[in-house]
Amino acid sequence: MSLYSMGMIDMAVYGFSLARAGILAAALLLAGCAAAPSRPLELVRNDDARVQDYATRLIEHEMRKQSIVGLSVAVVDDQKLLWARGFGFADREKGVPATPATLYRVGSISKLFTDSAAMQLAEQGRLDIDAPLNRVLPGFSIRSRFADAPPITLRGLMTHHAGLPRDYLKDFFTETPPPFTSVIPLLADTDTAYAPGTVLSYSNLGITLVGAAVERAAGQPFAEHLRTSLLAPLGMAEASFSAGPSASPLMARGYDKGQLRDEPALRDVPAGGLNASVTDLARFASMVFADGQAQGGQVLKAATVAEMLRPQNADVPLDLDGRIGIGWFIGKPLLRHGGKVVHHGGATYNFHSTLVALPEHKLAVVVLSNSAGSAAAVDRIATEVLSVVLEARSGLRPPPVAVPAAAGPLPEAEATRWEGDYATLFGYVRVERRGNALSAEVLGTRLDLAPRADGRLGLGYRLLGLFPVGLGEIGQSGLSRRTVAGREVLVAERQGLEALVGEKLPPPAQPGWVRPYLGRYAISNLGKDVPLFKEIRVRESAGYPLLEVQVQNGPPVRQVLLPQGEDRALILGSLADSGETVHCRKANDTVECRFAGYVLTRVGD
């Protein structure tokens, strides 16, 4: 996970709810909240009234708990809109209620449409998704540390396996964004993070390049092509791609902690610029269930839809049970009893969204919200509503969530094996041992690592170090260590699905490298960009150079800097030898670092 994206842009990796910064803090906060409404003990087949009653009570509960101002939901049963409703306000100040027709910024759900447009052009022979990217997008180039790496392709971009950085931050959120294609020449001075095909690494930048390839192959502006090729045939008359919120009177306003907030404009429109309603996205789901057919005709070929839903990364060992199709993430632990689950979420500054579908049952749920703190609630509502709809349609009820019982203390040798330093999706983590007891600090919170009967370690938290507090869904996860693709990796398991969390770090290679760069930094070329960070600092811990960032509305995140010579370092994510590159230089008393288009100047100790 990229440190700067935490809390800002969605991280829909592996279908787990583990990799979003702040989720830990949310779990602790929610532990003392009133209980959610009880799920019906049993549902009569097709008892839609009871399903809607339960869904309504659940949504109202989550909205109160999270101070969500407005939310809309739609439930799809094949070609029928089974239920659609708005809750709260699209514009509270003007008293405008949220409805099924309310438009929201849907964030990264936009990627499903961009990828679908690319696949349409591939059907027509106008794009080759397996050709080297510089062949279909002349002018594209990027530096690589990997001499024998395979080429970057559109397929790699659409499956987040191209190894690109997550974002090019300069001008990403800004007052007047340049065209999204303006980022292409800037990448010649940028470095890949991973060799293509190594590991799933989510990238907004990658889908922006897909949008550029679509625009070039179509011979017309991206937004106009998407309107004529997808939105209009699907009957999405009010939907649009744009840098900012739609000018339509149906557009919702954005809120943060209940307060009205301006929604900043976005450069990378193909990755997150769609404005749409729940009924719009319901039409998209129905098209998928109809093998590409919509009222406006055949939008995608049946074979193309099947290919987009087919796991593309089954031969990538480090992805473990995480699967992705073309655009679609595959798998959700709490919906496994419904067969294949495909989904995508989205987030902007003030909006959160999710679309979850069960293709084998032709059921889907869409949830859209206009409130910044609603990410966990939106996902929880979509998962639970789809689960009860599935039960009402098929009689399939989710199996009880089983968390293995606690086990005795770890043997000393095993406790010693766990002790050490890790690069993880949560940043730098140090596992410490006191006797045979283990603990780790994760995103500023000290967690106990307790042995379980299944041989994994469970996560626990003690308020003030004394009182156990339940961690909800996080507490259901178990950690293990194993060797995968020659790496000593940290693995999280939940309800039978496993995901890569991190890798154990070797001892620091160059302990003194960081000392000339220690201190606080400020972005000297911010211009009119929306500030993403409260504070940026380079520090040292246990010999490891760390980049510590305090993001807006999020916890501090620390990531290991792995030196690559005297003037650059890798910002490690889930692997101990790969990540995005930061370039640094010293000139007299001035220290500057360059990262993702930003110039970071040291301003103090």
pLDDT for 29 equals 42
Q: What b/e string do you get for 89-113 counting C-beta neighbours within 10 Å, with b at 16 or more?
A: bbbbeeebebbbbbbbbbbbbbbbb
Handedness of CA 307, 311, 312, 315 (dihedral sign): negative
Specify the 3-state DSSP secondary structure of 3. Answer: helix
536, 542 Cβ separation under 8 angstroms: no
Q: Which of 338, 397, 472, 339 is nearest to 39 (CA)?
A: 397
The pLDDT tens digits of the residues spanning 83-128 come to 999 999 999 999 999 999 999 999 999 999 999 999 999 999 999 9
Q: Which of 311, 314, 342 is nearest to 325 (CA)?
A: 311
**Which strands make up the sheet holding 240-241, listed edge to edge?**
104-105, 274-276, 240-241
Side chain identity at 330, as an amino acid letter? I
What value does the CA radius of gyration of the chain take, rounded to a whole number of Å?
23
Q: What b/e string do you get for 398-433 counting C-beta neighbours within 10 Å, with b at 16 or more?
A: beeeeeeeeeeebeeebbeebebbbbbbbbbbbbeb
Pairing of strands 533-541, 437-442: unpaired
CB-based burial label for 380 (10 Å; 0-12, 13-18, 19+): buried
Task: Using 50 as the pLDDT threshold, list the residues of the chain that sit under it.
Answer: 1-33
| Residue 9 exposure: Cα atoms within 13 Å on the Cβ side | 26
User: CA-based angle 553:263:179, to the nearest 5?
Assistant: 115
Strand partners, 345: 354
pLDDT for 18 equals 32
Which DSSP category does 230 fall into? I
- Cα 344 to Cα 83, 203, 251, 352, 502: the distances in Å are 20, 14, 21, 11, 23
Strand partners, 569: 563, 582
pLDDT for 569 equals 95
Q: In order of start, what are the domains of the chain with their CATH numbers?
A: 34-112+119-126+226-394 (3.40.710.10), 412-504 (no CATH), 515-604 (2.40.128.210)
Q: Note the pTM of the prediction, 2 decimals.
A: 0.94
SS (H, E, C) 107-157: ECCHHHHHHHHHHHHHHCCCCCCCCEHHHHCCCCCCECCCCCCCCCEHHHH
Question: Tokens for 523?
Answer: 């972005």
Task: Measure the CA–CA gap between 92 and 593, rounded to whole angstroms.
Answer: 43
Task: Measure the CA–CA gap between 196 and 81, rounded to whole angstroms.
Answer: 40
Task: Measure the CA–CA gap between 432 and 518, rounded to whole angstroms.
Answer: 25
SS (H, E, C) 425-485: CCEEEEEEEECCEEEEEECCEEEEEEEECCCCEEEEEEECCCEEECCCCHHHCEEEEEEEC
Task: Measure the CA–CA gap between 450 and 494, rounded to whole angstroms.
Answer: 16
158 backbone dihedrals φ, ψ, rounded to 5°: -75, -20
Question: Tokens for 318?
Answer: 């480090």
Task: Measure the CA–CA gap between 67 and 255, rounded to whole angstroms.
Answer: 10
Q: What b/e string do you get for 498-519 counting C-beta neighbours within 10 Å, with b at 16 or more?
A: bbbbbbbbeebeeeebbeebee
DSSP letters for 66-96: HT--EEEEEEEETTEEEEEEEEEEEETTTTE
